[in-house]
A and B are shown apart, each in its own frame.
Chain A
Amino acid sequence: MQYEDPNFWRAGAISTTVVMAIVLVMLTIDSLDAINPGGSHVPPYTVINRHIEYAHNSKLGRDMPVIGSDEPLFGKSVTDTEAAALIEQGKLVIQSRACIDCHTFMGNGAYYAPDLTKAWLDPAWDAWIAITGAESREEAMARFLMAPEQYATWQRKMPDLGISRDEAVATVAYLKWLSSIDTNGFPIHFGRIKVSK
């Protein structure tokens, strides 16, 4: 019987693997196109010059980032090159401090500290603007990053990681850009509390 013949299953293993791998490669080419800055799901880095929101889209049936009017970060509009430099520096900060080993980014990482996907949009920053004596949300975020132990959020304190002013500015820029990515609705109804029946 062919089902008892290992060679039958070997042929099956080879053909299955090859077909699946080809499909994966094709989908990868399409996905990379979508997730490069300017693609269908990921805005260009200069989105940090704009107002960003996250709202329910009834046509799609899920939450979507909404890019609004001009809202320069730290009061300064940036060019493509400057934005890319900020994002590159921000990511280096995130990796050098291993942020992903306490926090999550788009739900990936560690679960000891909050998810940072929509951190730019967190309503808690309103309170931190007052606490840090800052004039804007981004300034409050930068001051927090530079002295997290001084502006502790709750009993689990973020440690001081020696983040410089330039690094803090770049990281805030990174988080603003991150919040503009279309993550297919994750996290669900961010900032809106749902009453459980």
Chain B
Amino acid sequence: MSRSKNLAVKYLIAAVLFFGVMTLSGLLAATYYINPEFLFGLLHFSIAKILHIDTMIIWLLMGFMGAVYWFLPDEFGREPVGIWAAEILFWVFVVAVLVVAAIFVFVQWGPGTETTLWLFQQGRKYVEAPRWAAIGVALVMLVFAWNVVGTAMQARRITGVMAVMSVNMVPLVLLYLIAFPNISNMAVDLYWWWWLVHLWVEATWEILIGCIMALAMMKLLGTSRQIVEGWLYIEVALVLGTGILGLGHHYFWIGTPDYWLGIGGFFSALEPLPLLGMVVHAIYDAGVHRMKTTNRPGFCWALAEAFGNFLGAGVFGFMITLPQLNLFAHGTQWTVSHGHFAFWGAYACGILSVCYIALQEQRRLATVDSSSWVWAFILLNGGLIGMAGSLLVAGMAQAFFERAIGGSTLEAFIAGQENPWFVISMYSRFGFGLVFAAGYLALAWNLLTLGRREAAMSIRPVVPAE
């Protein structure tokens, strides 16, 4: 197997492991809502939340990188340029993440100085990691971009998918620079911070997962390159056509001019349209191929991607995106329900699909279709939908009682948090979180053991297949 594919497997394993850390820290964060005294004085909500959201970004990034390193040698017909550097940086990346996690848990914060920002805590959401670690991440991403773009430039021919991916690398990497500065003015800070967050998860990441799913579809269904590339260009046009100015839906309330209410609301309202197209495409693929594929979990997770993206980002997003409604829902658990569902559907499902695709080739399995993957699929998706549903109820209660009625003071906040609908939802969310965690364990076990039993069994005589 090529060096790039070996590296890909390492990245996918690391991704799945950090997915586990994300799940555990999510359960921890959820615990505080039920028992606010838990670990008080030792480890507080903020640290659990930082671990939870940061490992989410890390595991998804590692998943993307794993997927790309997996497909790269087949796309270019050669080992990517600079793969040696990527191999070293993989370990740098993993160690850096572990060190940062340890700092978050054991050091947690420092005095209000630049030194703290450099060494321990930057305290900006998703990019809390200290600057020394941010430099490491930037380096990893630069080499990743070089592996893709450098190989593209050297290749005699470049495929459409690789061209889109290569061009997309540039803003993807450049946007990360926004993780570095300390901007005193909160309005300006949030203005640029949203360039990083939105233009990652609602633009460049969408293009990247679009490229990855295009490559996955060619593998899973044998779809022709011309078809997936045509579709990819449509996706890029619609996603960026709505998403670039859809960034404005984060500029309603941060001190920016009020023309953003109109611009952001309008383009954001258009964002579900391409997602509906993706759902239709998924149904077409599933139906026309009569669900026949040599890799059933890979295909089912790809379907989950299309539906989850539409439901989580499209449906849940549309409920709260118009500015006159967002005024009430902004900064409540409604946002959390949308966030969980959208990230799951748009990215997590796609990466899990790639895990199964890579697994099939790596373990040389003619087909991947035992029943064991189904447990993980049901528990993870069921758990996630349950969590998002619980958070939706909590968010609606909060928006109604704290914002719409209460006037958003401390007293109103407390009233919202103590509302019975909210309280019950916190228990329900935790319960479904446990379901999700069980799904994660089933997934990890399945990825670890898939195909190994069959391979072992094949050397024994006359054992019926499952």
Q: What is A's interface to B at a CB cutoff of 8 Å?
A: 4-6, 9-10, 12-13, 16-17, 20-21, 23-24, 27-28, 30-32, 34-37, 40-42, 84, 87-102, 104-112, 114-115, 118, 122-124, 153-157, 159, 161-162, 164, 167, 170, 178, 181-196
Task: Please judge, given known A-B contacts A87-B184, A178-B186, A184-B253, whether A102 and B410 are in contact too, CB under 8 Å.
Answer: no
Give the CA-CA distance A136 to B14 in the complex, in Å.
53
Please determine whether B257 and A194 come into contact, CB atoms closer than 8 angstroms: no
Closest 8 CB pairs of A and B: A107-B331, A9-B233, A95-B123, A187-B408, A186-B253, A6-B230, A20-B244, A93-B112
Set of chain B residues within 8 Å of A99, measured between Cβ atoms: 123
14 further A-B pairs in the complex, CB-CB below 8 A; given A17-B236, A101-B45, A111-B331: A17-B241, A31-B191, A100-B125, A101-B47, A104-B331, A111-B333, A114-B413, A123-B411, A159-B41, A181-B186, A183-B254, A185-B253, A187-B403, A188-B408
Q: A34 CB to closest chain B CB, in angstroms?
A: 5
A188 to B336 alpha-carbon distance, docked (Å): 20
> Which residue of A20, A24, A95, A123 contacts B409 across the interface (Cβ within 8 Å)?
A123
User: Chain B contacts of A88 at CB under 8 A?
Assistant: 184
Assess the A101–B46 pair: CB atoms within 8 A: yes
Residue-wise interface mask of B (407-420) relative to A, using a CB-CB cutoff of 8 A (1 in contact, 0 not)? 11111111001000
Most interface-central of A32, A107, A154, A161 (chain B CB within 10 A): A107
Contacts of A162 in B (CB 8 A): 109, 111
Instruction: Check A167–B123 contact: CB distance below 8 A.
Output: no
Q: Are B240 and A17 in contact (CB under 8 A)?
A: yes
- Please state if B327 and A112 are interface contacts (CB–CB under 8 Å): no
Using a CB–CB cutoff of 8 Å, the interface residues on chain B facing chain A are: 32-33, 36, 40-41, 44-47, 49-50, 109-114, 116-117, 120-125, 128, 160, 164, 182-191, 226, 229-230, 233-234, 236-237, 240-241, 244-245, 247-248, 251-261, 263, 327-328, 330-333, 335-336, 398, 400, 403-414, 417
A127 to B39, CA, bound (A): 28
Question: What are 27 A-B contacts defined by CB distance under 8 Å?
Answer: A9-B230, A9-B233, A13-B237, A20-B241, A41-B256, A90-B184, A95-B123, A95-B182, A96-B110, A101-B123, A106-B187, A106-B255, A108-B125, A108-B331, A111-B332, A112-B49, A122-B410, A124-B409, A153-B414, A154-B414, A159-B40, A181-B186, A183-B253, A183-B254, A188-B404, A190-B407, A191-B408
Among B112, B114, B333, the one with the most A-chain Cβ atoms within 10 Å of its Cβ is B112
List of B residues within 8 angstroms of A35 by Cβ: 185, 187-188, 191, 254-256
Closest to B36 in A: A156
Chain A contacts for B121, CB-based, 8 A:
95-98
Q: Is the CB of B255 within 8 A of A110?
A: no
| CB <8 Å contact, A194 and B331 | no
- Asked whether B190 lies within 8 Å of A161 as measured between CB atoms, the reply is no
